Amino acid sequence: MKTALITGASRGIGAATAIELSSLGYAVAINYLSREDRAKEVAENINKSGGCAGIFKADVSKPGEVSRLFEEVCERLSPPEILVNNAGISYIGLLQDMTDEDISAQMGVNLAAAIYCSREAARLMIPKKSGLIVNIASMWGEVGASCEAVYSACKAGVIGLTKALAKELGPSGIRVNCVSPGVIKTDMNGELSAEALEELAEETPLLRLGNASDVAKAVAFFARADSSFITGQVLPVNGGITV
């Protein structure tokens, strides 16, 4: 059974992606940071329905923890054939109010983690001449969001990473793509009021917010043979919003 490693898969988009990739026949490595309860729940549901899932605690913003995470996934499952760089954190506020710690935390989880994990994945995938990396960016990485300057910069970086690595790893048979979500109903948007969410839905041409599974299904598209000639691309999953 081939393995898919999804970072930040205890909740939201990552959890939905683990379920989706399991349904394609992958053993799924569910990475999490603090919500072991939620990670266990996702794994139990997958295992109960005949899939194969394991949970792996690691702070993916730390390179040492990322190396250990990959070693554990190789030992307990198998070297990942798919890596989904999904773990992320949000920060809403003015740049001038951000502390050094706020900035490092944003850059660590939202950008450096994807770089550290992709480096480990490349080391394992290159000798096998096959593999897939899917990065989760954001529409704010494409158009920029006021009060989310560092988040937007990180997500723009994730898009750049995708395009560069697709060129670097393509000759080794490894594809690298990116899914760029719009506003998706997850804990990440939990601080927004019901009115704010309603306004965002109204600004969306499809008149609704996205679900985690909308994004997960786009990730799964890249895992299917149908997309075997697609690399270096950014697939927006945003209901048509162009703010």
Q: How many of the chain's residues bind ligand NAP (CB under 6 A)?
A: 31
CA–CA distance, 190 with 175 (Å, rounded to integer): 33
Minimum distance of ligand NAP from residue 27's CB (angstroms): 19
DSSP string, 131-176: EEEEEE--HHHHH--TT-HHHHHHHHHHHHHHHHHHHHHGGGTEEE
Given 176, 183, 218, 235, the residue binding ligand NAP (CB under 6 A): 183
Q: CA–CA separation, 155 vs 238, rounded Å?
A: 15
Determine, following the binding rule CB under 6 A, whether residue 135 of this chain makes contact with ligand NAP. no
Binding track over 93-132 against ligand NAP, x by CB under 6 A: ----------------x-----------------------
Quote the CA–CA distance of 107 and 159 in Å, as a whole number. Answer: 14
Contacts of 203 by beta carbon, 8 Å cutoff, 6+ apart: 241, 243
C-beta atoms surrounding 225 within 10 Å? 5
Task: Identify the residue among 23, 189, 211, 233 touching ligand NAP (CB under 6 A).
Answer: 189
Residue 191 and residue 60: Cα distance in Å, rounded? 24
Give the DSSP letter of residue 89: -
> Which of 3/86 has CB closer to ligand NAP?
86
Q: State the nearest-atom distance from the C-beta of 58 to ligand NAP, in Å.
A: 6
In the complex, least distance from residue 229 CB atom to ligand NAP, rounded to whole angstroms: 26
Gap between the Cα atoms of 10 and 30, Å rounded = 7
- Which residue among 3, 4, 5, 12 contacts ligand NAP (CB under 6 A)? 12
| Residue of 51, 79, 80, 88 that binds ligand NAP (CB under 6 A) | 88
- Compute how many other C-beta atoms are within 10 angstroms of the C-beta atom of residue 115: 15
The answer to whether residue 116 is catalytic is: no
Binding site for ligand NAP (CB under 6 A): 7-14, 31-35, 38, 59-61, 86-89, 109, 136, 138, 181, 183-184, 186-189
Known catalytic residues? 151
